């Protein structure tokens, strides 16, 4: 990635964080502890990729109403964050650290971490519901809401998560692995970009096209993740490498080999970008961002 793109992303991340932070609940009242645990994890950093993809897709299709898109941007980051809190729990991945910070259950205890995850998932929908304003715009917002409720659920992210948990410790076939990658990682990327398109008033066909583009980028992103876990140094990646092997995770690399994996990342990326270039509207930053995601080095 060239330096200017890195800087552009970093600036966007800051802008998006400022937006998201405005939607975080105040740490007060009898429920203060669970809110602290929510906010602690929401403030743990990261590129804010999902709200970034949502916002850029919204802009590409000519969306301008910030009161519509911003609650959904905060909501999708809350959903992503709840999934991290629950993933890190002792009964699941049992991770004590994430991005160099102690995870929620280490700081707040397991009971509070479970409740904080539940709270963030629930609060995501409560936050997105702020976009309803009692006018006929609600018809369009409801469409975005349907996507926000579907993609993170059993027919999306949690579906992938379930198959992943069940697949641990024994080999799975390539179809199962693709299902996991498409859903565990891909579903929220699809969700983000589709909502951006819907809220900007994109046509049904355009939203379908965006879904397909997002799916391919999501798969490429996840295969690249598997590659990096094997080939990067811990320093480059900013987290321990080789953890997939250690945890006996099925990865695209372990099933198809490194050579084939690299080829497939390229193929999925190319296909996604070809569809993207066929859209009637443009967003050069978004194009570059999609390319960066699937060819990243860390």
Residues that bind its own copies (CB under 8 A): 25, 29-31, 33-35, 38, 82, 86, 89, 91-92, 109-112, 114-115, 117-119, 121-123, 125-126, 128-129, 132, 134-136, 138-139, 141-143, 145-146, 149-150, 152-155, 158-163, 165-166, 176, 179-180
Residue 13 CB, shortest distance to its own copies, in Å, is: 26
The token pair at 224 is 């690249």
CB neighbour burial string for 247-285, b if at least 16 within 10 angstroms, e if fewer = eebbbbbbbbeeeebbebbeebbeebbeebeebeeebeb
Instruction: Considering the complex, state which of residue 82 and residue 276 has its C-beta at the smaller distance from its own copies.
Output: 82
Instruction: Considering the complex, state which of residue 109 and residue 171 has its C-beta at the smaller distance from its own copies.
Output: 109
Residue 67 CB, shortest distance to its own copies, in Å, is: 14
Instruction: Considering the complex, state which of residue 39 and residue 224 has its C-beta at the smaller distance from its own copies.
Output: 39
CA–CA distance, 200 with 156 (Å, rounded to integer): 23
| DSSP reduced 3-state for 261 | helix
Instruction: Considering the complex, state which of residue 56 and residue 77 has its C-beta at the smaller distance from its own copies.
Output: 77
Instruction: Considering the complex, state which of residue 118 and residue 225 has its C-beta at the smaller distance from its own copies.
Output: 118
Residue 68 CB, shortest distance to its own copies, in Å, is: 13
In the chain the first and final C-alpha atoms are separated, in Å, by: 10
The token pair at 28 is 């007060």
Residue 121 CB, shortest distance to its own copies, in Å, is: 6
Residue 109 CB, shortest distance to its own copies, in Å, is: 8
Sign for the pseudo-dihedral over CA of 131, 136, 137, 140: positive
Instruction: Considering the complex, state which of residue 117 and residue 196 has its C-beta at the smaller distance from its own copies.
Output: 117
Residue 173 CB, shortest distance to its own copies, in Å, is: 11
Instruction: Please provide the DSSP assignment of 128-177 as one string.
Output: HGGG--SSTTHHHHHHHHHHHHHTTSTTTHHHHHHHHHHHTTS---HHHH
Left if phi > 0, otherwise alpha if psi is -120 to 50, otherwise beta: which for 79?
alpha
Instruction: Considering the complex, state which of residue 60 and residue 104 has its C-beta at the smaller distance from its own copies.
Output: 104
Residue 274 CB, shortest distance to its own copies, in Å, is: 29
* Runs of H (alpha helix) within 232-257: 234-237, 243-246, 252-256
Contacts for 240 with CB less than 8 Å, ≥ 6 apart: 234
């Amino acid at each position: 990635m060239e330096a200017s793109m890195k800087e552009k992303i970093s600036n966007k991340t800051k802008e998006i964080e400022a937006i998201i932070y405005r939607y975080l609940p105040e740490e007060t009242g009898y429920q203060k502890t669970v809110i602290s645990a929510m906010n602690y994890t929401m403030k743990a950093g990261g590129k804010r990729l999902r709200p970034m993809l949502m916002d850029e897709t919204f802009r590409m299709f000519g969306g301008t109403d910030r009161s519509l898109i911003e609650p959904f941007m905060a909501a999708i980051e809350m959903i992503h964050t709840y999934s991290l809190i629950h993933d890190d729990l002792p009964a699941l991945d049992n991770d004590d650290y994430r991005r160099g910070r102690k995870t929620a259950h280490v700081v707040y205890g397991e009971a509070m971490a479970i409740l904080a995850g539940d709270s963030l998932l629930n609060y995501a929908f409560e936050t997105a519901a702020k976009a309803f304003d009692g006018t006929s715009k609600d018809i369009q917002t409801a469409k975005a809401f349907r996507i926000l409720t579907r993609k993170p659920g059993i027919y999306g992210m949690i579906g992938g998560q379930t198959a992943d948990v069940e697949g641990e410790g024994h080999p799975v076939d390539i179809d199962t692995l693709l299902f996991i990658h498409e859903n565990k990682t891909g579903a929220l990327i699809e969700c983000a970009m589709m909502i951006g398109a819907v809220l900007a008033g994109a046509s049904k066909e355009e939203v379908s096209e965006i879904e397909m583009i997002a799916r391919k980028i999501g798969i490429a992103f996840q295969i690249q993740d598997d590659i990096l876990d094997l080939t990067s140094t811990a320093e480059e990646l900013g987290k321990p490498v080789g953890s997939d092997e250690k945890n006996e995770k099925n990865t695209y690399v372990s099933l198809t080999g490194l050579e084939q994996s690299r080829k497939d990342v390229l193929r999925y990326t190319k296909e996604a970008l070809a569809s993207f270039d066929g859209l009637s509207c443009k967003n050069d930053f978004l194009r570059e961002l999609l390319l960066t995601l699937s060819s990243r080095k860390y």
